[in-house]
Amino acid sequence: MRWSPDFRRPVALVVAGTLFSALPGTASAEEAHPPGAAGQGLLAATGIVHGTAQGALVLLAGLAAFAAVVWLPVSRSSGTRPDAGRYFTRGMWALFGVLLFAGLADLSLYAVRVSGEPFGFALFREALFETRSGLLWLVRIGLGFAVAVVISRAAREGRPAYWWTATGLGLVLLATLTLQSHAAAVGGALPLLSNWLHVVAAAFWMGGLVGFPLLLLGPLRKASDGGRTLLRRMAVRRFSVVATVAVMVIVVTGIHATLLNVPNAAALVGTSYGRALIMKLGLFVLLLAAGGINFVDRGRGLFGRMVGAELVLAVGIFLAAGFLTSLPPAGAP
């Protein structure tokens, strides 16, 4: 499969959108950053790094779920049992690497933003071991490492129990995002459960956007033409059911989070938080359209290219979510 240059437009969209959501809003009073270029630079860096770390975490949990819920049943019922374990393992460790480095950068930026002091090792150590954010990152790195180790074992031994254990650990890993979200600041069971379901549904959908390229590069490339078409069609059919349910959960919990954090239309268009959400919704609509083409196409012709375009749009959504969760909510005083 050859990656075509058709990505320029989505890439340009993502970059423009990310910069747009970093622009200062009329209600910039909500952003407790020092005024001027340095403050805006720190805000933009925080949003991008936070979004990258969240994206790596959601994709890592999502890939484990994709392997257990979609690929394992398909490869077993195909009778040929093509092995994707090695490719999922490599994908897992690559995502863990991104999570580790983006997490360290995220915590460093957090330490500088909150203390107002220049970065230094003592400041970083204090943030890591003496703040809630630091302890949450330690738990995240530990859980992320455990998911990657269990997936490596699952790939070696092929036992379904390992794939499901990795999926279960992934769901716990996602809860560490919820514990640091605006929903945690609001408190109460419903906002927390809704936020967790939001990122779980995002993981189940986005996991396919990493899982399919790994399959296309791995076992599907090695299969015979007939075998490849059959496996791809079976995987797309099964994934479409998972993705459809995930999209419904994402929309319901997304609307709930919007109602919790955006008090009115003026706050939606007049704050950086609101504009980051508008950007995210725009990319979401494009992602739905691309997913719809794949669904109708049932894994034929455009499949490889569309999965690539979806992946670029998903990166944009994670960056927008990174701004959403590193900015105060739109209604904050």
Number of residues that bind ligand HEM (CB under 6 A): 29
Q: Binding to ligand HEM by residue 50, rule CB under 6 A?
A: no
Quote the CA–CA distance of 34 and 48 in Å, as a whole number.
Answer: 18
Q: Which stretch binds ligand HEM (CB under 6 A): 36-44, 115-123, 163-171, 253-261?
A: 253-261
154, 173, 183, 311: which one binds ligand HEM (CB under 6 A): 183
- Using CB under 6 A, which of 63, 169, 206, 236 touches ligand HEM? 206
- Of residues 71 through 110, those in contact with ligand HEM by CB under 6 A are none
Closest separation in Å from C-beta 78 to ligand HEM: 29
The label of the residue with tokens 């059911």 reads: 241
Closest CA to 213 of 97, 311, 112, 76: 311
Judged by beta carbon, residue 299 or residue 329, the one nearer ligand HEM is 329
| Residue choice 18, 21, 52, 54 for contact with ligand HEM (CB under 6 A) | 54
Closer residue to ligand HEM, CB minimum distance, 112 or 315: 315
Nearer to ligand HEM by Cβ, of 152 and 181: the residue is: 181
Per DSSP, helices labelled H in 8-131 are 8-22, 37-66, 72-77, 85-115, 121-130
Q: Is 317 in the site for ligand HEM (CB under 6 A)?
A: yes
Other Cβ atoms closer than 10 A to 59: 28
Residue in 61, 112, 199, 200 binding ligand HEM, rule: CB under 6 A: 199
Rounded distance, CA 254 to CA 251, Å? Answer: 5
| Measured CA distances, 29 to 33, 39, 110, 271 (Å) | 9, 13, 19, 9
Asked whether the beta carbons of 315 and 14 are under 8 A apart, the reply is yes
Query: Residue 127, interface with ligand HEM (CB under 6 A)?
Result: no
* Triad 155, 90, 242: Cα angle to 5°: 70
* Distance in angstroms (rounded) separating the CA atoms of residues 176 and 181: 9
Residue 18 neighbours by CB distance under 10 Å: 21
Binding flag, residue 195, ligand HEM (CB under 6 A) = yes
State the number of CA atoms in the 13 A half-sphere of 184 facing the CB: 11
- Give the one residue of 74, 102, 166, 177 binding ligand HEM; rule: CB under 6 A: 177
Q: Give the footprint of ligand HEM on this chain (CB under 6 A).
A: 54, 58, 177, 181-183, 195, 198-199, 202, 205-206, 250-251, 254-255, 257-258, 261, 277, 280-281, 284, 287, 317, 321, 324-325, 329
